[in-house]
């Protein structure tokens, strides 16, 4: 059985002919290289966080408080990193988290298609944002045999929300991820400094502009008056009144698995479970929305309250070592955000695929060298607090 760590061996073998990797191998180098090619305003939008960005930084450094306990003579020469999620077997525990401006992070202005192509090439599923440059159906067509999940920002127009979910179901998405923490924008000084927001300029709104319900609300089509259509989007995007009373309605929209994104408290996990929700997505939106504790600190209690229900996790994952730690703390699958985003900006689908290969190789090596053969071996006892 091939190990994901064989990617490293391939680099060394290529080096015998003088070839060196064209793309960076670490997060810091990826971010720096992306900064050289991206528009400064867009770079700040992606790299920035809420307020003083302490939560964003803490998401990353919180992983450093955990160490992995090595076990020797464990026979871990071959590893199995596959997981099961909603009755389907996936070759890796990774998924690509939604990035609402990924469409404009690639020079083609079709970055969402590049993400789908990376998913098809790698077998790593992608959660496709409501905010895309290409309609969800066009993106789904590029996923190949790799499932995609549709991330819903629930609008304040129920008919529009229902239309989005039914379109995602018809397009073949494997589940609906309802994001709960973005009914209003967080305080983002970097974006405020530029006085800019991509969607207000009509970017990444293809799902809205292609939706018959949304178009029926407009006096003029987006093709006739882009500015007015963007303002109409802004007026319908958030749903501050969404509450637990709406869970039955959301759950009833589709037969697909429904996950709630942004759940960080065990009481909320239990309410979701009691409401028939199929999975929990533990996340603080990468530190972009509200000040909070690091997301990884919430994970153990969320997993315990889930009582076997799948728990997806993102926020602050920057390395394969981070992936292993999140899995040991109980995550069913681990989401990658900015790292693959930088890969898209640098080389499209090939760039994202490269980032995923790097993360998987490091995670695989971390497991093998520490003596853990499968994800089932990664329990909380694998970790020790170092700080």
- 28 marked among binding-site residues: no
d(CA 313, CA 335): 6
- 92 marked among binding-site residues: no
Q: Are 228 and 241 in contact (CB under 8 A)?
A: no
SS3 232: helix
- 285 marked among binding-site residues: yes
SS3 143: coil
- 261 marked among binding-site residues: yes
Which CA distances in Å does 303 have to 28, 254, 320?
30, 25, 21
Q: Are 132 and 103 in contact (CB under 8 A)?
A: yes
- 280 marked among binding-site residues: no
Which CA distances in Å does 102 have to 295, 338, 387?
22, 10, 36
Residue with tokens 């007026």: 235
Catalytic residue among 110, 285, 353, 354: 285
- 338 marked among binding-site residues: yes
Residues 6+ apart with CB under 8 A from 260: 178, 180, 268, 272, 277, 279, 280, 281
Tokens read off for 57 = 């930084």
179 beta partners: 153, 261
Choose among 186, 226, 224: nearest CA to 206.
226
Q: H or E stretch including 169? A: helix 158-171
Classify the phi-psi angles of 30: left when phi > 0, otherwise alpha if psi is within -120 to 50, otherwise beta: alpha
Is 265 tagged catalytic?
no
- 315 marked among binding-site residues: yes
- 135 marked among binding-site residues: no
Q: Are 386 and 63 in contact (CB under 8 A)?
A: no
Q: Are 181 and 289 in contact (CB under 8 A)?
A: yes
- 179 marked among binding-site residues: yes
Residue with tokens 């985003």: 341
- 64 marked among binding-site residues: no
Q: Are 180 and 238 in contact (CB under 8 A)?
A: no
Residue with tokens 């590049």: 114
- 216 marked among binding-site residues: no
Q: H or E stretch including 310? A: none
Q: β-pairing, 126-128 with 88-90?
A: unpaired
- 314 marked among binding-site residues: yes
Binding-site residues for glyoxylate: 45, 153, 188, 285, 288
Catalytically annotated residues: 285
Binding residues for FMN: 98-100, 129, 151, 179, 261, 283, 314-318, 337-338
Residue list for the binding site: 45, 98-100, 129, 151, 153, 179, 188, 261, 283, 285, 288, 314-318, 337-338
């Amino acid at each position: 059985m091939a190990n994901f760590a064989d990617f490293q061996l391939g680099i060394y073998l290529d080096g015998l002919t003088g070839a060196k990797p064209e793309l960076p191998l670490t997060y810091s180098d990826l971010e720096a290289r992306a900064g050289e090619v991206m528009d400064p305003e867009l770079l700040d939008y992606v790299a920035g966080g809420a307020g003083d960005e302490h939560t964003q930084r803490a998401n990353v450094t919180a992983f450093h408080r955990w160490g992995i306990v090595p076990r020797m003579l464990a026979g871990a020469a071959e590893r199995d990193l596959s997981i099961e999620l909603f009755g389907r077997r996936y070759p890796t525990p990774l998924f690509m988290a939604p990035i609402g401006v990924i469409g404009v992070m690639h020079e083609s202005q079709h970055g969402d298609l590049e993400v789908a192509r990376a998913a098809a090439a790698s077998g790593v599923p992608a959660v496709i944002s409501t905010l895309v440059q290409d309609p969800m159906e066009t993106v789904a067509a590029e996923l190949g045999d790799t499932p995609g999940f549709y991330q819903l920002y629930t609008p304040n127009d129920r008919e529009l929300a229902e239309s989005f979910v039914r379109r995602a179901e018809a397009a073949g998405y494997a589940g609906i991820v309802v994001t709960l923490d973005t009914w209003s924008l967080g305080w983002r000084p970097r974006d405020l400094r530029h006085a800019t927001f991509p969607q207000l300029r009509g970017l990444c709104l293809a799902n809205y502009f292609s939706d018959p319900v949304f178009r029926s609300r407009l006096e003029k089509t987006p093709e006739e008056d882009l500015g007015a259509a963007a303002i109409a989007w802004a007026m319908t995007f958030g749903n501050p009144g969404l509450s637990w009373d709406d869970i039955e309605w959301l759950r009833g929209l589709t037969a697909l698995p429904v996950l709630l994104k942004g759940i960080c408290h065990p009481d909320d996990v239990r309410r979701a479970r009691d409401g028939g929700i199929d999975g929990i997505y533990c996340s603080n939106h990468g530190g972009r929305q509200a000040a909070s504790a690091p997301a990884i600190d919430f994970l153990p209690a969320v997993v315990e309250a889930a009582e076997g229900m799948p728990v997806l996790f993102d926020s602050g994952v920057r390395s394969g070592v981070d992936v292993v730690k999140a899995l040991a703390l109980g995550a069913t699958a681990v989401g990658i955000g900015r790292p693959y985003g930088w890969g898209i900006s640098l080389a499209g689908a090939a760039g994202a695929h490269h980032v995923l290969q790097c993360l998987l190789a490091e995670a695989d090596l971390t497991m093998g060298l520490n003596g853990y053969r499968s994800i089932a071996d990664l329990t909380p006892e694998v970790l020790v607090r170092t700080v």
